[in-house]
Amino acid sequence: MSRMTRHSAQTERLRMAYRRSGDPDGLPMILVHGSYATGRWWEPFMRILPTEILAVAPDLRGCGDTERATDGYDVPDQAADLNAFVDFLGWTDFDLVAHSSSGAVAVEYALARPHIVRTLTLVDSVPAEGVFTPLETYLLLDRMRSDRDLLAQALASLMPTFAGEDAQTEDADRAFFQTLVDDAAAMAPPAFTAVAEGLARWNRFADVDRLTLPTQLIWGDLDIVVDRDATTRTLIAIPGAHNLEVLHHVGHSPMIEAPVALAERIIEFITDDLDDYGAVRQMGYDG
């Protein structure tokens, strides 16, 4: 079990907080959280990782202890934030794992810096064509700024086996969930709707054929946010896609609902023999 510590990074774009676990000389991995979240969402997952993996989980713009920016929530901007964070770390070869809305951020980053990312894992990720959000949903997102009960209901729906009505939740888990709600409520006000607005403007479906690095998609079959058809379309569109791992009886948030199962899938993937990817990856570089 890895010991977790908290740190701060002054990048060229903004000050970012991040969590770190594992041996300093371990296999480097970056974990990127989704909307209404912070790096805290990755804590259950990080605690069970072997010490041989050096994992870092930053708080993205406007979230957690990172700067509360008033703008810069479009996908390319957040990918630039990730790029600045990687430059701060000085990493030139690492495994990238992204959840939910930040799947778009990770795809954008990997398209720009394919030589830097060793493998890409997308967990219950938005599809490569982005997401259209109806007006009524924007109104709900805006209401969640001041309605904590509504915010808590929304977060619970993202992790039904952990915080849903039928979940067998321990006191410690209930306390952890309330902390997640507190984190979401404390986000920079623009972040409540700006991320969704950015995803509506983002579409890389025609470009992901350049993603020839080893890629894995993971999806919980109780996910009410991202459906399997959209996930399959992304899988087929990415030449380097390894496979689609379906986690049964898991919702949108496997790092919280099923951290052991998620860790098993990711560790097996990043430690697999990736030599077979060499030819297709080089083809992507040459193209």
Report domain extents, the chain. 4-286
Does residue 32 have a pLDDT over 60? yes
Mean pLDDT across the stretch 16-30? 97
Q: Which pLDDT value is given to residue 1?
A: 66
Question: Nearest CA to 121 among 283, 20, 270?
Answer: 270
Q: Please give the helix or strand (H or E) that residue 86 lies within, else none.
A: helix 75-89
Tell me what the pLDDT averaged over the chain comes to. 94
* SS percent in the chain: helix, strand, coil, step 5: 45, 20, 40
Place of tokens 């070869």: 93
Question: Could you report the per-residue pLDDT of 216-240, keeping only the tens digit for each?
Answer: 999 999 999 999 999 999 999 999 9
CA distance 127 to 231: 6
Q: Which pLDDT value is given to residue 284?
A: 44
| pLDDT confidence band for 141 (50 / 70 / 90) | very high
Does residue 96 have a pLDDT over 80? yes
CA distance 122 to 201: 20
Does residue 257 have a pLDDT over 80? yes
Q: Please give the helix or strand (H or E) that residue 123 lies within, else none.
A: strand 117-123
Mean pLDDT across the stretch 44-69? 97
Does residue 6 have a pLDDT over 90? yes
Does residue 167 have a pLDDT over 90? no
Tokens of 228: 């399997």
**204: helix, coil or strand?**
coil
Listed in sequence order, the residues at least 6 apart from 147 whose beta carbon sits closer than 8 Å to its beta carbon are none
Phi, psi of 20 (to 5 degrees): -140, 140
Q: Which pLDDT value is given to residue 242?
A: 75
Q: Which pLDDT value is given to residue 150?
A: 98
Does residue 256 have a pLDDT over 50? yes
Mean pLDDT across the stretch 75-101? 98
Q: Please give the helix or strand (H or E) that residue 219 lies within, else none.
A: strand 215-220
Does residue 275 have a pLDDT over 80? no
Task: Give percent of the chain above pLDDT 90.
Answer: 90
Tokens of 193: 């709707």
Domain 4-286 sits in CATH 3.40.50.1820: yes
For residue 216, list its beta bridge partners.
Answer: 121
Enter the pTM of the model.
0.94
Question: Comparing 53-57, 148-152, 168-172, which segment has the lowest mean pLDDT?
Answer: 168-172
Place of tokens 């219950």: 124
Place of tokens 């410690």: 172
Q: Which pLDDT value is given to residue 243?
A: 86
**15: helix, coil or strand?**
strand
Beta carbons of 181 and 148 less than 8 angstroms apart: yes
Beta carbons of 218 and 245 less than 8 angstroms apart: yes
Place of tokens 């994992």: 55
For residue 210, which amino acid is it?
R
Question: Could you report the per-residue pLDDT of 99-123, keeping only the tens digit for each?
Answer: 999 999 999 999 999 999 999 999 9
Listed in sequence order, the residues at least 6 apart from 271 whose beta carbon sits closer than 8 Å to its beta carbon are none
Q: For the chain, how long is the longest CA-to-CA vector?
A: 54
For residue 2, which amino acid is it?
S
Q: Please give the helix or strand (H or E) that residue 17 lies within, else none.
A: strand 15-21
Q: Which pLDDT value is given to residue 280?
A: 41
